[in-house]
Every structure is written in structure tokens, then in C-alpha cells.
Amino acid sequence: MAEAYQQTSEKSRLVALLLCLFVGYIGIHRFYAGKNGSGVLYLCTYGLFGIGVLVDLIMILTGSFTDDHGLLIIDWEGTEGKPASYAPAHPHPAYTQTPPRPVPPPPQKNAEEMFCNSCGSIVKKDETFCRNCGAVLQH
Ligand SMILES: [Zn+2]
């Protein structure tokens, strides 16, 4: 399956085209593609006296221009810096879940109530025995 995948350059074909059009006579598009050696040559010869620039322009337009790794520059926007796959815009489901309900406050005893000394449950002060554990309430 690896042979079926055509690896292409991450350089932008549009940038290479524009550079070739406007500053191709000094080889800027070749520097952009990483071809520094031929870029210097273009710089010294005004793009091989214009012929090299014209050839490169045609090659970029036809999608046969390559970078210094021999990879075709055919992606118009370029893939440099792009993630391998587009991540979904919505956040992880864990962050979208509603927060857990707040813990209800502990029961508040009022003036007529007291805590059982035996089990700690709230009982009425006028009761003799705890309704929960049956212990005798200490008043
Ligand atoms: Zn009790």
C-alpha cells in the first residue's frame, strides 16, 4: 500500500508560482523550493536568461515542479505546518458533560432538635428515646 501513496512536497504551489512569476529571474522560487544551488545559478544568470524561469513556470503550472527532496509541489496551499488530520472542532465529550450535582448541605438542627449522643441522628428534644437507635437521650 505504501507504493500507492504519492508523497508530495509540503511547499505551496501557489507561493512557488507567484515567486516564479515576479522574482523568478533571480531564482527566488528555487530558493523557496530548497534548491539553493540552482537558485544561486538563477540569481547570477537572471533565471538562465529567462529561459529557466519560463520552463519552471510551465512546470509549476503543470504540477511537475519539485523541491530539493524531489517531491512534487502540487498542493496549491501547501501542507507545511498543517496537522496530519483535521481535528474536530468540538471539544472532548468529557468536557461537555454537565458538572456533578452539588452535595446537598448537611441537615441543620433547629432549636427544638438535638443530636443523639449514641448514633448522631437528629432527634426532637422533647423525645425521651432516639427514634433511630432507641438510646436514651441525654438532655
Ligand atoms: Zn440514636
Ligand 1: distance of its center to the CA of 71 in Å? 83
Q: What is the pLDDT of residue 55?
A: 97
Helices vs strands, H then E, count in the chain: 5, 2
pLDDT at 112: 86
Distances in whole angstroms, Cα of residue 43 to Cα of each of 22, 31, 104, 106, 113: 13, 10, 77, 82, 96
Q: How many angstroms does the Cα of residue 109 sit away from the middle of ligand 1?
A: 15
Average pLDDT, the chain: 85
Distance 122 CA to ligand 1 centre (A): 8
Mark the residues whose beta carbon lies below 5 A from ion ligand 1: 116, 118-119, 130, 132-133, 135
How far away, in angstroms, is 101 Cα from ligand 1 center?
29
Q: What pLDDT score does 4 carry? A: 44
pTM for the predicted model, two decimal places: 0.54
Kindly report the number of other CB atoms within 10 A of residue 37's CB atom.
11
Average pLDDT over residues 1-15: 76
Given pLDDT bands bounded at 50, 70 and 90, which one contains residue 79? confident
